[in-house]
Structure 1
Amino acid sequence: MSARGKARTRALEVLFEAEQRSAPALEVLRARREKTDLIVNPYTMDIVEGVLAKQATIDEFLQTYAQGWTLERMPSVDRIILRIGAWELLYNEDVPDGVAVSEAVALAKTMSTDESPAFINGLLGRLQKLKPSLLA
C-alpha cells in the first residue's frame, strides 16, 4: 500500500473513532500520537483537517446526491469514506479526480460491506460529474 493509501486508512480510523466516541477528531489523533509510537503521515493530517474544515459542505453534497439515502442511514464507515473521497475529489488539487474516486472505492472494499464499493463509486462519480457546478 502506498504512503497516501496508508494515510487515507489512518484518517478513516481517526475520523471513525472520533465519530463513535463523539470526540474531536484532532484530539483523537493527538491521543493516538501520545499513547503510541505512531508517526502520523502529514497527509493523514491534511485529510483529517480538510474533511473537518469542509464537512458541512461535503455532507450537504452527499445528502443531496445520495439518492434515497440520508447521511444518518448510511453505515458510519461509508459516510466517512465518502467524506474523505469527496474532500480529495473536490478540494485537493494534488489528487486527480479518478484517483480520489478509485481510492475511496478501494477503502470501501477493505473496510466495509460488499455493497459499499458500488454505492461509493456511484455517489462520488456523480459528484465528479457535477464538480464544476458544485464548486462554481
Structure 2
Amino acid sequence: MTYLMEKLDMKPQEMADWLNTKCGVLGITGISSDMREVEQADFDGDKRAHLALEMYNYRIKKYIGAYAAAMNGVDIIVWTAGVGENQEGVRWDSLQDMEYLGVKMDKERNHVRGKEQILSADDSKVKVVMIPTDEEIVIARDTMDIVKDLKK
C-alpha cells in the first residue's frame, strides 16, 4: 500500500477511497462492479469481463477449498445475498471440478433466482443451497445495534 500511495501521490483516505471504488471487479473490467453487468459483458464477448469472472470464481473456489481443509470437509455450501441469489453463472462456475470434495451441481436446479432452492444433484455428497436474504433488513438491524451501542 505504501508503495502505491507514494507512486500515486495519495493520502491514506484517498487510497482507501480508491481501493473501495476503483479496484476489484471494476478495476479489472473497466465496466462495473455490478456482477449482472459484468456477466452481460462477458456474454457479449468482453475479454476483461470474462477475466474478472474467472478470477472471481477462482477466488470463491479457493476459499471453499481452504475452509474445507480447515474444517476437515464440507457438509453444505450456502449461497445467499446479491451474487449468491442472482448469479447462476457464478454459482455454477465456482463449483465446477469440485467433485473430489463431494460437490455435484444440478444444472436445472441452478436456474433459480431469489427463492430458496437445493442446487446440488440428488447424488451430491455435499448439499448446495440458495437461501434468499433481505439485505436491507440486515443493514437496518446492524445500524440499530450500532446506534444502541453508541447510546450506552
> Is the structural similarity TM-score above 0.5?
no
* Larger helix fraction of residues: 1
**Which entry has the higher C-alpha Rg, 1 or 2?**
2
* Larger strand fraction of residues: 2
Bigger relative CO (Cα 8 Å, ≥ 6 apart): 1
What's the TM-score, normalizing by structure 2?
0.28
What's the TM-score, normalizing by structure 1?
0.30
